[in-house]
Amino acid sequence: MFKTIFTNSFGILTSRILGFIRDLLTANALGANIYSDIFFIAFKLPNLFRRIFAEGAFTQVFIPSFTRSVHKGVFLAYIFSLFLSIILILSILVNLLPQLATKAMAVGFDAQTIELASPFVAINFWYLPLIFSVTFLSTLLQYKHHFATTAFSTALLNISLILALVLSEDKAEAEIVYYLSWGVVIGGVLQLIAHIGAIYKMGLMKLIIGGFKYLKIKSSKIKDETAKFNTQFFPAIWGNSTAQVSAFLDTFLASFLLSGSISYLYYANRIFQLPLALFAIATSIALFPKVSRYIKNQDEQKALEYLQKAFWFLSFLLTASTLGGFILSQEITTLLFERGAFTNEDALQTTLVLQMYILGLLPLGLQKLLLLWLYAKQMQLHAAKIATFSLVSYIVFALSLITPMGTSGLALASSISGFVGFALTIRVFGMDNFKRLFWSKNLVYLVIASGVFTILLFIFKNLIHNLL
């Protein structure tokens, strides 16, 4: 288990380090103004779909269905063809009506800003069919217990964007956004090439080709399987995407605030996403195939034992990340972004947003772990209901807090919805099952370690200020 988690975490860490270099260069080149807001809006929707598909939602429906399928090649060919066709049609519509798509994502933008942003929205959207293809191939690799290619491939996107920023150095801000937009598309192409190579090496190409070859002939034989998959898919996607939808709505609401607000949310969320991806997402991706197999074999005891190890592993790491991220938020933001066009005021605003986001790290991370149980038992509808209640709570708190707190209020609303979702997930997971995970001598160790770590963080914080 831990070897697979380490592989995922190391790959994600590599990608996120490059991502922070990318963000550092972006902040230096664009700062926090209308042009940075435009790029983040343009990249928001395809990136939203990337997180929903690539960070487990698609996998958690596809793998159980694929495992049970008698005609695996035909099943995968049908699912791939269906979803890629829908996504391609959507991408074409966005490119034909880019202003409408931009207006839908940023209602607060005025007509001139929408006119300026719409070409970049159209370019960035071509990343969506590419990343779906990548996600589909990565799911097949996970079925074969191969995680390294997917974990490291996101680095290719960041490398592409870094090169775009280097090549557009000293150019006008609008031209920098143009380079970045095409950098997103090129990064998607590179990710797809990497996954095709891994599929070939793992010997899965024959299965894929055979599936497409016999799709028309045997499509009737997978009718029940595909119907069940389609029934489970949309509740699963919805149930796994509350945090991403909340982040998307953050951007939507922030478009009504002062220029730069979208950028504050983006930069703070990027920092927040690091421990979430590095620990929670990497762990859930690594655990799901085995948890699903234990549940399928009706060995719930073994599945719970497996989850308990991961639960405490995550609890220690996410608690440390929460404490470190909150106490050192200003130092982290200043170190990463305060240079060039990104001012001290921008850093202070981003710090406030980061502190509010980081409060929701522990519940959001642990919820991802517990959701594995629900998806393995094919309780996608329950997960969808949890997501709906979480999203409603986010909307209520976001609308309540946006006026008194501004952008930081939106981030706090996201964290509150994370606590709501976690509590509801525990209820469906079962209080008895949760007690078996939670009541342990590890709880005492966690409290003691958290107290000691907090003291050390404040000492470190004061040391930094004394040195400066």
- Rounded to whole angstroms, the Cα distance separating 278 from 281 reads 7
- Given this model, what pLDDT does residue 321 score? 95
pLDDT score for 153 = 85
Band of residue 4 on the pLDDT scale cut at 50, 70, 90? low
Answer whether residue 184 shows pLDDT above 80. Answer: yes
- 299 dihedral zone (left: phi>0; alpha: psi -120 to 50; beta): beta
* Mean pLDDT score, 103-124: 80
8 Å CB contact between 364 and 319 = no
| Residue pair 366/418 in contact by the 8 Å Cβ criterion | no
pLDDT at 396: 94
Torsion of CA 273, 279, 280, 286, to 10 degrees: 130
What pLDDT shows up at residue 199?
93
Integer Cα distance of 102 and 123 in angstroms: 12
Say if residue 90 is exposed, middle or buried (CB neighbours under 10 Å; 0-12, 13-18, 19+).
middle
Asked if pLDDT for residue 290 goes beyond 80, the answer is no
Question: In the structure encoding, which two tokens stand for residue 425, read together?
Answer: 């997930």
Mean pLDDT is highest, among 49-53, 310-314, 362-366, for 362-366
Tokens of 234: 């949309």
Contact 390/242 with Cβ under 8 angstroms?
yes
Is the pLDDT score of 186 beyond 90? yes
More confident residue, 54 or 19: 19
- Is it the case that residue 45 has pLDDT exceeding 80? no
Q: What is the pLDDT of residues 233-250, one digit of tens each?
A: 777 777 666 666 777 787
SS3 at position 146? coil
Average pLDDT over residues 12-19: 80
**403-430 average pLDDT score:** 92
- Binning pLDDT at 50, 70 and 90, where does residue 3 land? low
Q: Which two tokens stand for residue 100?
A: 């409408």
Name the band, by pLDDT with cuts 50, 70 and 90, for residue 411: very high
Distance CA 315, CA 280 (A): 10
* Contacts with 23 (C-beta within 8 Å, 6 or more apart), sequence order: 267, 270, 336, 337
pLDDT value at residue 51: 64
Per-residue confidence band for 468, with pLDDT thresholds at 50, 70 and 90: low
Residue reference for tokens 């598309």: 185
Predicted pLDDT of residue 239: 67
Q: Within 10 Å of residue 449's Cβ, how many Cβ atoms?
A: 15
Q: How confident is the model at residue 437 (pLDDT cuts 50, 70, 90)?
A: confident
Higher pLDDT, 35 or 1: 35
**What's the pLDDT score for residue 346?**
87
Mean pLDDT of 93-117: 81
Burial class (CB in 10 A: 0-12, 13-18, 19+), 451: exposed
Q: Sign of the CA dihedral 130, 132, 138, 140?
A: negative
Q: What is the pLDDT of residues 156-179, one digit of tens each?
A: 999 999 999 999 888 888 888 889
Tell me the pLDDT of the chain averaged across its residues.
84
Query: In the structure, what pLDDT confidence band is assigned to residue 57 with cuts at 50, 70 and 90?
Result: low
Higher pLDDT, 48 or 452: 452
Q: Is the dihedral of CA 431, 432, 434, 435 positive or negative?
A: positive
